Amino acid sequence: MINATSAKDEGRSDSSRVAVVFIALIVLLTLAALFAPRFRQPTVEAKVAPSVRPIMPAVELWLSTADRRLKLMPQPDIEMSAQDSSPADVVIDVNAKYQTMTGFGAAMTDSSAWLLQNKLNALQRNALLHELYGPPPNLNLNMMRLTIGASDFSLKFYTLDDIPFGQTDPSLQHFNVAANLEDVIPTVREILSINPGLLIVASPWSAPAWMKTNENLIGGELLEQYESTYADYLVKYLDAYRGYGIPIFALTLQNEPRFTPITYPGMAMSAETRARIVAQYLGPKLAGRKPRTRILDWDHNWSHPEEPLSVLADPDASRYIDGVAWHCYEGSQHEQGRVHRAYPQKDTYITECSGGDWPLSMNGELLWFTRNLLVTGIRQWARGAIYWNLALDEDHGPHFGGCVACNGVIAIDSQTGSVSRNDEYYALAHFSRFVLPGAVRVSSTDTDADKGIANVAFRNAFDGSIVLVMVNINANARHVSVVEGRTRFEYTMPPESVATFVWNPDLVSAWIQRALGWLRGPLPPARLE
């Protein structure tokens, strides 16, 4: 006797097989129609064939407005036409290629992980994490930053080797990740089960107090006698997290090494010290390990490009350094480009930027984050962008010192567990849902200065689709024309809006890739060099 459940499962299986066969037939019939030889009846007289209008791809469009009337809302498709001799505002050249993109994300601070674990039940958390990290049409976030020890967004001060004052532990016998076992590690493991391609950048806010000049987590510097031990400390972190199934994509030596906070853990670290630690200790210790963990220098603001330039000028250190990490709080994004031009073989990442409820953001932060951080940051060679806190509560916390007005990508109400999505959520979504890992930035006319419309363009590696993100910072609507290859389209950007346009120049290839994608299921993580 067959029970109802097995019958239902068998029915589902039969339906799936029928769907697969149906899709496969569509693909085969499409290919046959396109490429099969056609029989032609011989004719005595030559006839003039009527002109046939070529089939043009349609442009899909998603739109957000600064007044929050529209939040990543799909709009009617835009018709393309054949390119003519008239000029265009934005010309896209897919043959002019720049950096390959790794992705977008936010930091899983102690505060974010604590909220997810303690203010949501398992079903709520699972649904939210799928929304944030699941494949499109979810947000598709695939990058994350972790703090090695406490930051200002922790519930207490700690490192991973804390011992009584006055004692030392040069052999790191007391190293442990116990402080992360209840919140951070289980949350990251759950996210990895949703998105196995997650790329994690880890940064320490302070060495253990016994390694420092002032024997305190706040302020001070690393004692030179413990530089090798500090490198061992970071390697132990990699091994401990790998033991929990959490690979670390990249390390930085110190968060914001030019700033010494007075209310939360921090540590000054000069360019000379960073270069010495990488060249003599951390670089050699990581060189032969597989999978490889990258080393990123700096991890601080755009305002001091001389810092990473100094470290990269040291050949013994530079050979181990994969790239430079940047924060957004001071200086110009164009300093990323300056360092890239000096060392074009080194990667560029934005590893921290936070919005908040401060006077400059009273009208919202959608435009600033999309235009200044993402569009301009990527045009200045960023391969990935990581926002600061993924989640905070209605009081911008919990936090222990530091920023009292910072926002998360999302807000979780500590009383009800309800989730709200901030402007940064939509700014990230305009990229992360459409620009897939492995996409290449391609050339597009820079229209920011003359039209007040910033833009950046990409070509996805998987199906060849083109993604164009545009930001109109003007208080009035602006008409723009876009040319790519032999096609063009026109669109009027609403006032203070963000638009993501997606199209595929090769319609046949697009349908075949889509059908094959349905057949094989989700793509594996992109292979990133």
Q: Which domain holds residue 385?
A: 103-436
Q: What is the mean pLDDT of residues 474-489?
A: 96
Q: What is the mean pLDDT of residues 194-210?
A: 98
Say if residue 43's pLDDT is above 50.
no
Band (pLDDT 50/70/90 cuts) for residue 83 is confident
pLDDT digit string, tens, across residues 240-251: 999 999 999 999
Task: Decide which of 453 and 517 is more confident.
Answer: 453
Q: Structurally, how many domains does the chain consist of?
A: 2
User: For position 477, what pLDDT does the model report?
Assistant: 97
Considering 402, 436, 470, which residue would you say is the last residue of a domain?
Answer: 436
| Same domain (yes/no): 81, 156 | no
Considering 409, 436, 463, which residue would you say is the last residue of a domain?
Answer: 436
Task: Decide which of 27 and 76 is more confident.
Answer: 76
pLDDT digit string, tens, across residues 139-168: 999 999 999 999 999 999 999 999 999 999
| Same domain (yes/no): 72, 112 | no
pTM for the model stands at: 0.88
User: For position 508, what pLDDT does the model report?
Assistant: 64
Whether 167 is covered by a domain: the verdict is: yes
| Same domain (yes/no): 107, 154 | yes
Listed in order, strand segments (DSSP E) in 390-486 are: 391-392, 410-412, 419-421, 440-444, 453-459, 466-472, 478-484
Whether 275 is covered by a domain: the verdict is: yes
Band (pLDDT 50/70/90 cuts) for residue 525 is very low
- In one-letter notation, the amino acid at residue 268 is A
Say if residue 362's pLDDT is above 90.
no
Whether 525 is covered by a domain: the verdict is: no
Question: Edge to edge, what strands does the sheet with 419-421 contain?
Answer: 391-392, 410-412, 419-421
Least confident of 55-69, 117-131, 512-526: 512-526
| Same domain (yes/no): 187, 107 | yes
| Same domain (yes/no): 476, 366 | no
| Same domain (yes/no): 177, 305 | yes
Inter-residue contact 201 to 143 (CB < 8 Å) = yes
Considering 436, 467, 502, which residue would you say is the last residue of a domain?
Answer: 436
Whether 43 is covered by a domain: the verdict is: no
Say if residue 72's pLDDT is above 90.
yes
Inter-residue contact 88 to 96 (CB < 8 Å) = no
| Same domain (yes/no): 375, 489 | no
Compute the C-alpha angle 61/62/68, nearest 5°.
145
Inter-residue contact 218 to 263 (CB < 8 Å) = yes
Inter-residue contact 445 to 452 (CB < 8 Å) = no
Chain-centre distance for alpha carbon 20: 33
| Same domain (yes/no): 62, 90 | yes
Say if residue 7's pLDDT is above 60.
no
Inter-residue contact 106 to 133 (CB < 8 Å) = no
CATH number at residue 447: 2.60.40.1180
Q: What is the mean pLDDT of residues 475-487?
A: 96
CATH number at residue 215: 3.20.20.80
Band (pLDDT 50/70/90 cuts) for residue 506 is confident
Q: What is the mean pLDDT of residues 247-272?
A: 97
Whether 11 is covered by a domain: the verdict is: no
Say if residue 100's pLDDT is above 80.
yes
Task: Decide which of 451 and 510 is more confident.
Answer: 451
| Same domain (yes/no): 298, 204 | yes
Whether 482 is covered by a domain: the verdict is: yes
Band (pLDDT 50/70/90 cuts) for residue 452 is very high
Inter-residue contact 351 to 296 (CB < 8 Å) = yes
Round the average pLDDT of the chain to a whole number and report it: 89
Residues marked as catalytic: 256, 352
Helix axis angle, 122-133 to 110-118, nearest 10°: 130
